[in-house]
């Protein structure tokens, strides 16, 4: 049955219904009689879905929907022979349903992408021998070997080996994290360099990645679309319409007047009030690179009072570049230090190394011959440059080479780290020559955007998986005072849930897989569509297709305007219906003229939507 309803409610069948209504109107105006009024086509095509949902509401959902009032008006019109009125009512409701469906349609492919990140096999070590097994067979305590480039199959702890792990799927961190024995690793994260052995701790549904997937699924299921406002009012619209119609009949002793009341009481304009405004707003937003997936998202965005941002790829560009080249040795210039560092790192596959080499090329520096290259995963590299052994890496790595730091160098190092920068120390066999610092870059529009949000009474918050120093540095530059750092996906969800339990309406803005649960849990979710992951874009209600966060205040303004317009449209529709009821009781309107009259409300709400589309909110 539901397939029949969906078929009859389709755009093609609604067009057929419209042709039938137009033909009936033509015959009526030309006073032409035919054996079967074409309006019957509209009654059957567009009326059957109305009848179906009215029956479902009464007998299954135990609720009164506006479809019940519409069905009563159609039946009454048919009984007194006013087929055109019945067909026209059914057609208007079909158009409203199509508009609503078009604005609410959403794709759900992103979850499949997230699920595909979970490895299907792991390399278990038994009595010194490797064997590939399905992840379903892995048990807590099993020893697993993960080679460079492989995804980690379960949560665990490194028991031997050093490496760098890309765990952006969980934390959103822009940099691979150096890991060694005793450090925890997440399922689905990528081992970049050295081979490591891990002891499995959380497996199957308990792993971090599976919990992430489950969070998205649960959040999706818990966020039902808002009911149409006319359906909320149906429980008292229906009895009021019936009471007025009955009173009109007993007072005037005219069944036509009673039926006319039912016809004009049909909430056609009310049904169109919301979707027309939403279609207009979505159309204008699309022109400015903001993809709004549903009208429900617009209405929710209009109520938002707190906006939570991820850092990497959202407030920042997510691309590391060299920010500082600081020599410590007297007589050593930044240019020479850059050449030495880039030459030593030229054979490394580490993202920081690649950024340094690329920056040196941009500066026109020539790389020197590299011999004796060695890479120690998770620590650094060494190479012979011009007959001089050069070490590049962390402070711990240089300490292993016997290189010490004085207080001045340590202060410089701490200052750069406090600015959220990654630091590569450079030394020879005797002393630290200098350092190269790399930093993500705050988007130029971040600070003005935050100021605009504060002006429209939306409080910004930073929720990030990055370390606290980095988070606080970028938050200060953007003008955000509320900072929560070092958060895993479930902790971001908990923060948002707490705010919402306190009575706030929270919008989450993010770009990565790890942001998906937060995007779904938040009252409204906005994804960075240009560079954002598929799952983030799917999880969000809205996507910024150009990754331009300066559009966030615009989004808030147009959402507010849309909510106001919907309320105005509903008021206009109610006023038109009220006047029509008075004219019907007075006998001025008939079922046919009443059916045409209530289109005045439909025209008014549509015109308002056109004005919204052309208005400027940028």
Return the H-helix or E-strand segment holding 579.
helix 551-585
Q: Quick one: average pLDDT of 359-379? A: 89
Residue 169 lies in a domain: yes
Does the CA dihedral 289-294-298-300 come out positive or negative?
Answer: negative
Domains identified in the chain, total number: 2
Specify the pLDDT at position 218. Answer: 54
* Neighbouring C-beta atoms of residue 308, cutoff 10 Å: 29
* Out of 349-353, 363-367, 503-507, least confident range: 349-353
Specify the pLDDT at position 222. Answer: 44
- The pLDDT tens digits of the residues spanning 168-204 come to 666 555 567 888 888 888 888 888 878 899 999 888 7
Instruction: Give the domain extent around 403.
Output: 321-439
Helix, coil or strand: residue 528: strand
Q: Quick one: average pLDDT of 150-158? A: 89
Q: Is pLDDT above 50 for 324?
A: yes
Q: Is pLDDT above 70 for 321?
A: yes
Residue 173 lies in a domain: yes
The pTM of the full predicted model, rounded to 2 decimals, is: 0.62
3-state helix, strand, coil in the chain (%, to 5): 55, 20, 30
Q: Is pLDDT above 90 for 144?
A: yes
- The pLDDT tens digits of the residues spanning 92-136 come to 778 766 765 654 443 344 445 556 667 888 899 988 888 998 888
Specify the pLDDT at position 522. Answer: 92
Specify the pLDDT at position 215. Answer: 52
* Out of 32-46, 234-248, 428-442, 471-485, least confident range: 234-248
**How far is 496 from 222, CA to CA, in rounded Å?**
15
Residue 157 lies in a domain: yes
Which of 186, 206, 226 is the last residue before a domain boundary? 206
Query: In this structure, what CATH number is given to the domain that contains residue 405?
Result: 3.40.1110.10
**Contact criterion met (CB below 8 Å) for 73 and 580:** no
Specify the pLDDT at position 57. Answer: 79
- The pLDDT tens digits of the residues spanning 104-113 come to 443 344 445 5
| DSSP structural state of residue 549 | T
**How far is 90 from 44, CA to CA, in rounded Å?**
9
Specify the pLDDT at position 105. Answer: 45
**How far is 104 from 294, CA to CA, in rounded Å?**
4
Which of 404, 439, 474 is the last residue before a domain boundary? 439
Which of 178, 206, 234 is the last residue before a domain boundary? 206
Select from 308, 281, 314 the least CA-distant residue to 296: 281
Q: Is pLDDT above 70 for 163?
A: yes
Query: In this structure, what CATH number is given to the domain that contains residue 183?
Result: 2.70.150.10
- The pLDDT tens digits of the residues spanning 402-449 come to 888 888 888 888 888 888 788 999 999 889 999 999 988 888 999 999
**How far is 615 from 609, CA to CA, in rounded Å?**
10
Model confidence band, residue 225 (pLDDT cutoffs 50, 70, 90) = very low
Residue 353 lies in a domain: yes
Residue 404 lies in a domain: yes
Q: Quick one: average pLDDT of 486-493? A: 86
- The pLDDT tens digits of the residues spanning 283-308 come to 788 777 787 777 778 888 988 999 99
Model confidence band, residue 614 (pLDDT cutoffs 50, 70, 90) = low
- The pLDDT tens digits of the residues spanning 542-583 come to 878 667 788 899 999 998 888 888 888 888 888 888 888 888
Specify the pLDDT at position 406. Answer: 82
Model confidence band, residue 229 (pLDDT cutoffs 50, 70, 90) = low
- What average pLDDT does the structure give for the chain? 82
Tell me the sheet residues that pair with 74.
none
Residue 114 lies in a domain: no
Residue 522 lies in a domain: no
Q: Is pLDDT above 50 for 62?
A: yes
Does the CA dihedral 420-421-422-424 come out positive or negative?
Answer: negative
Residue 549 lies in a domain: no
The residues annotated as belonging to the active site are 310
Specify the pLDDT at position 563. Answer: 84
């Amino acid at each position: 049955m539901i397939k029949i309803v969906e078929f009859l409610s389709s755009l093609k069948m609604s067009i057929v219904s419209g042709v039938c209504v137009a033909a009936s109107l033509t015959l009526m105006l030309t006073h032409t009689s035919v054996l079967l009024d074409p309006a019957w086509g509209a009654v059957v095509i567009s009326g059957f879905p109305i009848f179906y949902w009215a029956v479902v509401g009464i007998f299954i959902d135990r609720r009164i929907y506006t479809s019940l009032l519409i069905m009563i008006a159609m039946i009454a019109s048919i009984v007194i022979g006013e087929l055109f009125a019945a067909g026209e009512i059914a057609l208007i409701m079909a158009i409203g349903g199509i508009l609503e469906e078009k604005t609410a349609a959403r794709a759900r492919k992103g979850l499949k992408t997230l699920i595909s990140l979970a490895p299907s096999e792991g390399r278990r070590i038994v009595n010194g021998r490797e064997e590939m097994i399905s992840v379903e067979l892995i048990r807590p305590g099993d020893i697993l070997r993960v080679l460079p480039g492989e995804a980690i199959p379960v949560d665990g702890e490194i028991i031997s080996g050093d490496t760098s792990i890309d765990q952006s799927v969980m934390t959103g961190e822009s940099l691979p994290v150096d890991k060694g024995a005793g450090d925890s690793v997440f399922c689905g994260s990528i081992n970049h360099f050295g081979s490591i052995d891990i002891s499995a701790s959380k497996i199957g549904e308990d792993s971090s990645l599976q919990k992430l997937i489950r969070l998205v699924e649960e959040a999706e299921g818990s966020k039902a679309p808002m009911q149409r406002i006319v359906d909320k009012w149906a429980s008292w619209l229906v009895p009021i319409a019936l009471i007025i119609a009955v009173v009109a009949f007993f007072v005037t002793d005219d069944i036509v007047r009673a039926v006319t009341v039912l016809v004009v009481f049909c909430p056609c304009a009310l049904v169109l009030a919301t979707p027309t405004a939403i279609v207009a707003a979505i159309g204008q937003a699309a022109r400015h690179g903001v993809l709004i997936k549903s009208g429900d998202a617009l209405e929710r965005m209009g109520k938002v009072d707190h906006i939570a941002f991820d850092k990497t790829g959202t407030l920042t560009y997510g691309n590391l570049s060299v920010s500082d080249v600081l020599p410590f040795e007297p007589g050593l210039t930044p240019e020479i230090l850059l050449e030495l560092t880039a030459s030593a790192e030229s054979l490394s596959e580490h993202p920081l190394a690649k950024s340094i080499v690329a920056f040196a090329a941009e500066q026109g520096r020539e790389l020197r011959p590299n011999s004796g290259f060695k890479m120690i995963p998770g620590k650094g590299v060494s190479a012979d440059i011009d007959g001089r052994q050069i070490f590049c890496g962390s402070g711990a790595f240089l300490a292993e080479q016997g290189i010490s730091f004085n207080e001045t160098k340590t202060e410089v190092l701490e200052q750069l780290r406090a600015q959220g920068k990654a630091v590569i120390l450079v030394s020879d066999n005797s002393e630290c020559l200098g350092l190269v610092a790399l930093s993500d870059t705050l988007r130029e529009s971040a600070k003005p955007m935050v100021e605009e949000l504060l002006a429209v009474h939306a409080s910004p918050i930073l929720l990030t998986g990055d370390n606290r120093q980095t988070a606080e540095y970028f938050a200060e530059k953007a003008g955000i005072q509320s900072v929560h750092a070092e958060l895993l996906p479930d902790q971001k969800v908990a923060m948002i849930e707490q705010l919402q339990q306190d009575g706030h309406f929270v919008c989450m803005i993010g770009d990565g897989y790890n942001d998906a649960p937060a995007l779904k849990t938040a009252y409204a979710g906005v994804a960075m569509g240009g560079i954002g992951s598929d799952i983030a874009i799917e999880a969000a209600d809205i996507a910024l297709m150009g990754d331009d966060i300066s559009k966030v205040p615009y989004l808030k303004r147009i959402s507010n305007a849309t909510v106001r317009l919907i309320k105005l449209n509903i008021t206009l529709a109610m006023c038109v219906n009220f006047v029509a009821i008075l004219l019907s009781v007075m006998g001025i309107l008939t079922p046919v003229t009443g059916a045409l009259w209530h289109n005045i409300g439909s025209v008014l709400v549509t015109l308002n939507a056109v004005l919204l589309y052309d208005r400027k909110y940028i």
